[in-house]
Amino acid sequence: MEILSTGEKIRRARVQKGMTLKALCGSEISVSKMSTIENDKVQAEEWILELVAKRLGIEKESLKKDLVEEVTEELHRLAQNMFTKNYERDIRSLIKVSEENHLIYQAFIGRIQLVEHFIEKNKQEELNIEVSQLYKTYINIVNQETQYLYCITMAKYLDVMSEYDNALVFLNFLMSHYYTLPDQITKEQRLLIPYYTVKCHLYLEEFEEAKKYLHYLEELLTVTEDESLKGQIMLYMCMANAKDDLKECSLKIKDFMADYPVLHAKAKYMLSIRLLNRGEIDASYQEMEEAVRMLGPENMAENIELVLHAMDTFVTKGHIKEASKYIDLVVNAAIENQNAQCVEKAYYFKGLLLAENGNFNMAETYLSVSLDMLLKRGKTQELAKRYHNLAEVYYKMDKKEEAIRYFALSIQIEGHI
């Protein structure tokens, strides 16, 4: 992607037409002045731009756009085409142009867009790299507007990474400045702060905290024209109000998300978990079955974190038979996603379910592989539980020495946590 200054545009057009500087200038403009214009040493007056545009056969307005305007317009265009094949290449190229020309604000906006792109694609490894680059750009241009954009983007990133407590740190900071945010932050952008706050509290099952922000969601519902967002808002409002009829809530969400099957499926996953936590087992199973069908194998990989969260809930609450229906789909989706953390979790759940169903040899295999992957990640807080799981499997296999060894490792780690 090439962004040209006014002078570069004139020179490029002149050379392409095979025109000399003298011919372009005629008797009206000195050659020396045109040379300084082409080299961006001085700005061309309106009458010069009008004359040059006429002789080159191009629009004057296209010449008048300076580098900042060109980059800003291209950022806006790319923001409308975030899912095109060449988006990542184009936005990286634009960030490079911005940085080379010391357009720090434009580089920051470009990096915000790139992080948003990876959030939508759920590319967690790329996200970990890009948020670091985003911070390096942000610290060079801290003001009220960039502070909002950085904090809300970090909250979205941490939400995708299932780090809801950390996301709330950024969101709580923004809520404390909610009424003093700069005017360029639109009402809808402002209302996204409590929207994500509610979402994080719901995932943490902090329903009373979520309820505190529901009046903001009611306002967002009247402001936004995004039907899919309206569906998400309805979902969160229903989930926060435990007294609500979640079946009726499901029907309301269906109306808003009729044209968004993937988002509708994700909403059903969340409804299934909420219903399960409320003890409405049959309704939960039905929502889960419909969610899996609507999402389909082709979209499950990109939404693997949500699927794993649902699997965790079903397994933890002892719904082994129901969880076993979907575990192979979950494992395949995790592998397709190529996220080592997701694969490790999927193998872990597969091992637990195999053990619960009496297939101890295969359970040992999956749990051992999961444990090896966890050790490579250095997640010591989870190790005690994993050692305990393996110890139970070995005990049921009548491998007493192995069982004792892993029980001991589990106890040892718990003593240091």
Domains and CATH numbers, the chain: 6-65 (1.10.260.40), 227-338 (1.25.40), 353-417 (1.25.40)
Q: What pLDDT shows up at residue 243?
A: 58
Long-range contacts of 93-101 (CB under 8 A, 24+ apart): 93/1, 94/1, 94/3, 97/1, 97/2, 97/3, 97/71, 98/71, 101/67, 101/71
Structure tokens at 131: 């948020």
Residue type, 68: V
CA-CA distance, 217 to 148, in Å (whole number)? 19
Structure tokens at 22: 């003298």
Q: What pLDDT shows up at residue 227?
A: 82
Q: What pLDDT shows up at residue 84?
A: 81
Q: Estimate to the nearest angstrom the gap between the alpha carbon of 2 and the chain centroid.
A: 28
- Cβ–Cβ contacts within 10 Å for residue 83, how many? 8
What global pTM score does this model have?
Answer: 0.66
- Cβ–Cβ contacts within 10 Å for residue 72, how many? 17
CA-CA distance, 306 to 296, in Å (whole number)? 14
Q: What pLDDT shows up at residue 340?
A: 82
What value, to the nearest 5°, has the Cα angle with vertex 334 and ends 332 and 340? 135
Listed residue (314, 311, 234) closest to 281, CA to CA: 314
Q: What pLDDT shows up at residue 189?
A: 94
Listed residue (277, 234, 241, 274) closest to 256, CA to CA: 234
Q: What pLDDT shows up at residue 237?
A: 83
Residue 334 burial (C-beta neighbours within 10 Å; 0-12, 13-18, 19+):
buried
Question: How far lies 405's CA from each of 385, 401, 408, in Å?
Answer: 14, 6, 5
Residues of the chain with pLDDT under 70: 1-4, 62-67, 242-245, 378-381, 414-417
Place of tokens 């749990």: 367
CA-CA distance, 147 to 135, in Å (whole number)? 11
Residue 82 burial (C-beta neighbours within 10 Å; 0-12, 13-18, 19+):
middle
192-228 burial by CB neighbour count: b if 16+ within 10 A, else e?
Answer: bbbbbbbbbbbbeebbebbeebbebbeebeeebeeeb
CA-CA distance, 321 to 118, in Å (whole number)? 35
Q: What pLDDT shows up at residue 238?
A: 77
Structure tokens at 181: 């945010």
Q: Are 182 and 145 in contact (CB under 8 A)?
A: yes
